[in-house]
Structure 1
Amino acid sequence: MEGKPGLRERKKQRTHAAISDAAIALFLEHGFHQVSVAQVAEAAEVSKRTLFAYFPTKEDLVVHRLADHETEAARVVRARAAGTAPLTALREHFLDGLRERDPITGLNDHPQVRRLHRMILDAPSLVARMERFKAGAERALARALEETAGAPELTARLAAAQIVAVQWALAQDNAERLAHGESADERHEGAVADAEHAFALLEHGLRGFAG
Structure 2
Amino acid sequence: MAGVEGRSEPGQPGQQGKPGLRERKKQRTRAAISDAAIHLFLEHGFNETSVAQVAEAAEVSKRTLFAYFPSKEDLVVHRLADHEAESARVVRARPPGTTPLAALRAHFLDGLRDRDPITGLNDHPQVRRVHRMILAAPSLVARMDRFRSGAERALAQALQETADTTELTARLAAVQIVGVQWALASDNADRLAFGESADARYPGAVADAQHAFDLLENGLRRLA
TM (norm. structure 1) is 0.96
Shift of 1:151: 1.1
Q: 1:148 aligns with which of 162, 170, 175?
A: 162
Off by >2 Å, runs of 4+ in structure 1: none
Question: Is 2:98 the counterpart of 1:84?
Answer: yes
Shift of 1:177: 1.5
Shift of 1:18: 0.3
Q: Which residue does the alignment assign to 2:209?
A: 195
Q: 1:137 aligns with which of 120, 132, 151?
A: 151
Separation in 2, partners of 1:25, 1:96:
30
Separation in 1, partners of 2:195, 2:41:
23
Q: Which residue does the alignment assign to 1:56?
A: 70
Amino acid at match of 1:127: V
Question: Is 2:173 the counterpart of 1:159?
Answer: yes
Separation in 2, partners of 1:198, 1:160:
14
Identity across matched positions, percent: 82
Shift of 1:90: 0.3
Shift of 1:150: 0.9
Q: Deviations over 1:96-120 (max 9, x none)?
A: 1001101110100001000001101
Amino acid at match of 1:29: E
- 1:4-153 alignment, distance < 5 Å: 4-153=18-167
| SS of residue paired to 2:84 | helix
Q: Please state which structure has a larger fraction of its residues in helix.
A: 1
CA contact (8 A) 2:131 2:193 kept: no
Q: Which residue does the alignment assign to 1:181?
A: 195
Shift of 1:176: 1.5
Q: Which runs of 5+ in 2 are unaligned?
A: 1-14
Shift of 1:192: 0.5
TM (norm. structure 2) is 0.90
Q: Which residue does the alignment assign to 2:5?
A: none
Structure 2 vs 1, CA of residues 47 and 180 (structure 1 numbering), >3 Å: closer, same or farther?
closer
Shift of 1:178: 1.3
Q: Deviations over 1:89-146 (max 9, x none)?
A: 0000000100110111010000100000110111000000000110010000000000
Amino acid at match of 1:37: V
